[in-house]
């Protein structure tokens, strides 16, 4: 039995062909999706890397595992097992290609950390500028080949976790990709579309890799899509290697991302702030051998559902707390939904929380100290306003009251189920202060300065 979990950093579902994007960014992902199940309403339970990956690997909500901010001081408790630990205890060989280190290393027999060898840099910031998709894919294919030689893969249980860092900012794909989706003049003096970006609070970070001479915002957007195309070309190589070395037809393969990215919406540019769909609606594509090919599911699902699904597919019981539910019954057509609503958080740049239902998305602020020009509360009609451009918070006060009460109830249920005394998002103010301050920027800038060029 082989289980492969592929997670892409900062990949928005809306920028993939199989989710309706107008550019040809993802032919290999789209081909994979045609032989798989596509979930059209999959959501991250948090909009930042460390919380999202912790949820993806534990099946627990951020309000349960308490990792509610990226680069915060809180560590995952030792009694919370991740999927690698559970599978290893049940006889699986567990292997990761990852860069986060910390508690993400737990449970892996092999944890490949293809970044700096100098431990001074280990874990200080995401190393997305260190190892591009080409280098990472080369290493994975080499590993697959060696594993195939040493093992009868049909009789060995294996869990393989793969984390790609493209297309996380800075959007700097290899040179041959940089103009495939852009044909204009990026420094046209008559184009002022970058002016609002340069007024954005995050410009001091973006300006590290986006030249002040760039005037056309479409050039930056095109670079994000070019990063996806670069990633997709390498995923094509990876999928072919899976087929060649017998890791494809009989495997459970789950493909997702930790969060998406906002290009230009609500005054945010080229970052994963806010709880809009651009940021928290993620691709989720699941391949179960050759079964259930080219199937689409519209029901609400979330990151915390991934681990319960893996465990059900593997036939493994655990006494670990799980906040998600297996989506295998959805795939098999036994039921039409597993959630009536989903709770998701933002606690890195802002302090917000959202409730998502099939009809509505309600967003509210937990700590208004971090509003930064954003509305205190928002209400969007998910059926009729897919771009989330019309805030209906004043129009439907009764709906808002109902959703606010439900959000409070569900949130409290999550942290009380984990036997916590307080709501983690309300007591971890230090995390948002740290990530919002210069400490993170210095680390990010230092990592970029010491990063070798990709090719």
Burial class (CB in 10 A: 0-12, 13-18, 19+), 273: buried
Mean pLDDT lowest among 1-10, 154-163, 407-416:
154-163
CA distances from 327 to 132, 300, 304, 330 (A): 32, 10, 10, 5
Please tell me the distance from the alpha carbon of residue 238 to that of residue 231, in angstroms, as a whole number.
10
Select 2-449's CATH number: 3.40.50.620, 3.40.720.10, 3.40.50.970, 3.30.300.30: 3.40.720.10
How would residue 329 be classed by pLDDT, with cut points 50, 70 and 90? very high
Q: What is the pLDDT of residue 453?
A: 42
**Which residue in the block uniquely carries the two structure tokens 């210095």?**
442
Ordered by start, the domain boundaries in the chain are 2-449
Question: What is the bridge-based pairing of β-strands 262-265 and 268-271?
Answer: antiparallel
How would residue 455 be classed by pLDDT, with cut points 50, 70 and 90? very low
Q: What is the pLDDT of residue 452?
A: 41
Q: What is the pLDDT of residue 194?
A: 95
Q: Tell me the two tokens of residue 25.
A: 């960014």
Q: What is the pLDDT of residue 170?
A: 87
Question: What is the mean pLDDT of the segment spanning 416-442?
Answer: 79
Full DSSP string of 150-212: HS-GGGS-EEEEEEE-TTSSS----GGGTTTT--S-TT-TT--TTHHHHHSTTHHHHTTTS-T
Give the residue from 76, 108, 104 showing the smallest Cα distance to 93: 108
Give the residue from 405, 362, 454, 455 showing the smallest Cα distance to 130: 454
- CB 265, CB 288: distance < 8 Å: no
Q: Which residues contact 278 (CB under 8 A, 6 or more apart)?
A: 12, 14, 260, 261, 262, 263, 265
Tell me the backbone φ, ψ of residue 101, rounded to 5 degrees. 60, -125
Question: What is the bridge-based pairing of β-strands 342-346 and 284-288?
Answer: unpaired
Convert the pLDDT of each residue in 278-306 to its tens digit. Answer: 999 999 999 998 888 889 999 999 999 99
Convert the pLDDT of each residue in 367-417 to its tens digit. Answer: 988 888 889 999 999 999 999 999 999 999 999 999 999 999 999 999 999
DSSP code at position 15: G
- CB 362, CB 407: distance < 8 Å: yes
Question: What is the mean pLDDT of the segment spanning 233-256?
Answer: 95
Question: What is the mean pLDDT of the segment spanning 69-91?
Answer: 93
Average pLDDT over all residues of the chain: 89
Q: What is the pLDDT of residue 440?
A: 56
């Amino acid at each position: 039995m082989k289980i492969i979990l592929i997670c892409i950093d900062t990949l928005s579902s809306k920028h993939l062909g199989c989710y309706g994007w107008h550019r040809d960014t993802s032919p290999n992902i789209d081909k994979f999706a045609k032989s798989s199940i596509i979930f059209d309403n999959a959501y991250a339970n948090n909009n930042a890397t460390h919380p999202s990956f912790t949820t993806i690997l534990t099946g627990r909500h951020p309000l349960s595992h308490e990792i509610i901010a990226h680069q915060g001081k809180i560590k995952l408790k030792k009694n919370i097992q991740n999927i690698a630990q559970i599978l290893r205890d049940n006889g699986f060989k567990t292997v990761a290609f990852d860069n986060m280190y910390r508690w993400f290393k737990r449970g892996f027999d092999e944890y490949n950390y293809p970044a700096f060898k100098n431990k001074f840099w280990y874990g200080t910031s995401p190393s997305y500028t260190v190892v591009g998709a080409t280098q990472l894919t080369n290493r994975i294919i080499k590993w697959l080949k060696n594993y195939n030689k040493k093992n009868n893969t049909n009789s060995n249980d294996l869990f393989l976790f793969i984390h790609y860092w493209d297309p996380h900012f800075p959007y700097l794909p290899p040179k041959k990709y940089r103009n495939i989706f852009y044909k204009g003049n990026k420094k046209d003096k008559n184009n002022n579309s970058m002016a609002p970006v340069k007024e954005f609070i995050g410009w001091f970070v973006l300006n590290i890799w986006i030249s002040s001479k760039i005037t056309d915002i479409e050039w930056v957007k095109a670079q994000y899509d070019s990063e996806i195309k670069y990633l997709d070309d390498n995923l094509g190589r990876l999928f072919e290697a899976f087929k060649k070395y017998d890791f494809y037809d009989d495997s459970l393969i789950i493909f997702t991302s930790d969060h998406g990215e906002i290009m230009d919406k609500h005054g945010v540019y080229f970052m994963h702030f806010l709880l809009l769909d651009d940021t928290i609606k993620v691709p989720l594509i699941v391949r179960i051998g050759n079964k259930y090919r080219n199937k689409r599911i519209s029901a609400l699902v979330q990151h915390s559902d991934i681990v319960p699904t893996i465990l059900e597919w593997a036939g493994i019981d655990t006494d670990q707390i799980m906040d998600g539910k297996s989506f295998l019954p959805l795939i098999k057509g036994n039921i039409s939904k597993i959630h009536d609503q989903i709770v998701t958080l933002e606690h890195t740049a802002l302090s917000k929380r959202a409730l998502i239902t099939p009809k509505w998305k309600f967003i509210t602020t937990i700590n208004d100290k971090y509003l930064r020009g954003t509305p205190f509360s928002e209400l969007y009609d998910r059926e009729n306003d897919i771009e989330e451009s019309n805030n209906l918070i004043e129009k439907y006060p009764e709906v808002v009251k109902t959703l606010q009460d439900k959000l409070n109830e569900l949130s409290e249920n999550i942290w009380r189920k984990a036997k916590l005394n307080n709501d983690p998002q309300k007591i971890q103010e230090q995390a948002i202060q740290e990530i919002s301050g210069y400490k993170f920027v210095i680390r990010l800038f230092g990592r970029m300065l010491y990063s070798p060029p990709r090719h």
